[in-house]
Amino acid sequence: MSASLPRWLRVSCILALTWMSGLVQARDWEPGFRDLAAWGREMHLRPITLGEELLLTNRWTRMRFRKDSDRMTFNEVEFRLSDRIPVEGGHFRVSQRDINSLMAPLLAPPKRTSRPIRRIAINAGHGGRDPGNMEGRRMEKTYTLDLAIDLARHLKAAGFQVVFIRSSDRFIALPDRAAEANRAEADLYVSLHFNGFDGPGNDAVQGLETYCLTPAGAPSSNDAQRHGRMAGFDANRFDRENVTLAHLVHRAILDQTPLADRGVRRARFKELTLLRMPGLLVEGGYMTHPGDTRLMDSKKSRDQLAAAIADGILRHKKLVERGTPE
Ligand SMILES: [Zn+2]
């Protein structure tokens, strides 16, 4: 600003600058957005607009976005976004944090630089005085332990070592579960759960949900009001590998079982926040849905689910250790 400017103009300039810096500060709270089609082109994906949807495609990849939706599909697998997709002046926009924490690692999975994946920690959710979801006499803790035992068998057959966080009906606090996996120096952590939905129409809610730790600075998938903690954890250093692991395990389960797709989601579950290794949490169907319950009660279906999880882990190992896409 020149000193030769009249005083009234100098004052106006200072006021304008102050007002503008206020705007910049206000925008720091919001995620940065950018043009989705332009990002796609940079990634060698062709953008195709179909009404309220935008597709980004090439020979290997098909990403689908919908106006105002917080869901996208990547090769027909559903993912929850941190931010809805706004459309402004006919342009679909996407938040930079969804690009960084989800879309980029899906397109270019990380290569593991630490030691190879050998030892898998299996956490059977709940136990002892904590039954988990209960439907009549059915208890989640029983299903998770049965599934853990089946999963261990499949993992061992695939050449992995297995660490059980619990192998009997006993209570273990959530931080102690992560601590046990850390102590055992596991290379990956798999937590097994089954869902329940209380509310009207609860017998219509069904399917598979796979969770990994919410990236630092992003809201969790089940936090519609955006009230939850947004800060990061030490475990967030595995964000990129977590996305690959969740994607491949989720996809293997969808491919090999009749479970419906309720998406790969992000949450700050206590056990995931304390891990010193990549990890995920599988909600293998709804105990409140008759179809899902039939699968849980069938030994054959449960074994199918366990085999699919083991297969997803094996695909993940191959992908991050050798960089060979499936
Ligand atoms: Zn549970």
Which pLDDT does position 224 carry in this prediction? 63
Which pLDDT does position 114 carry in this prediction? 80
From ligand 1's centre to the CA of 288, what distance in Å? Answer: 13
From ligand 1's centre to the CA of 217, what distance in Å? Answer: 25
- Cα(77)–Cα(75) distance, integer angstroms: 6
Q: Are residues 180 and 273 in the same domain?
A: yes
Which pLDDT does position 227 carry in this prediction? 61
List of E strands, 75-117: 77-80, 87-88, 91-95
Query: In the chain, what is the greatest distance between 2 CA atoms, to the nearest angstrom?
Result: 86
Which pLDDT does position 18 carry in this prediction? 41
Which pLDDT does position 203 carry in this prediction? 78
Q: Are residues 143 and 102 in the same domain?
A: no
Q: Are residues 93 and 196 in the same domain?
A: no
Which pLDDT does position 225 carry in this prediction? 60
Which pLDDT does position 198 carry in this prediction? 85
The domain boundary, picked from 73, 107, 141, lies at: 107
From ligand 1's centre to the CA of 136, what distance in Å? Answer: 16
> How much is the CA Rg of the chain, to the nearest whole Å?
23
Q: Is residue 114 part of a domain?
A: no
Q: Is residue 42 part of a domain?
A: yes
Q: What is the pLDDT of residues 159-202, one digit of tens each?
A: 999 999 999 999 999 999 999 999 999 999 999 999 999 887 77
From ligand 1's centre to the CA of 230, what distance in Å? Answer: 23
Q: Residue 47: which domain range?
A: 33-107
Q: Are residues 49 and 160 in the same domain?
A: no
Q: Is residue 261 part of a domain?
A: yes
Which pLDDT does position 103 carry in this prediction? 96
From ligand 1's centre to the CA of 24, what distance in Å? Answer: 42
Domain count, the chain: 2
209 with 259: CB under 8 angstroms?
Answer: no
The residues placing their C-beta within 5 Å of ligand 1, an ion, are 125, 132, 193
285 with 207: CB under 8 angstroms?
Answer: yes
Q: Which of 283, 281, 264 is nearest to 272 (CA)?
A: 281
Q: Are residues 208 and 306 in the same domain?
A: yes
Which pLDDT does position 81 carry in this prediction? 95
Q: Which residues of the chain have pLDDT under 70?
A: 1-30, 224-229, 323-326
Which pLDDT does position 7 carry in this prediction? 53
Q: Is residue 222 part of a domain?
A: yes
Q: Are residues 240 and 99 in the same domain?
A: no
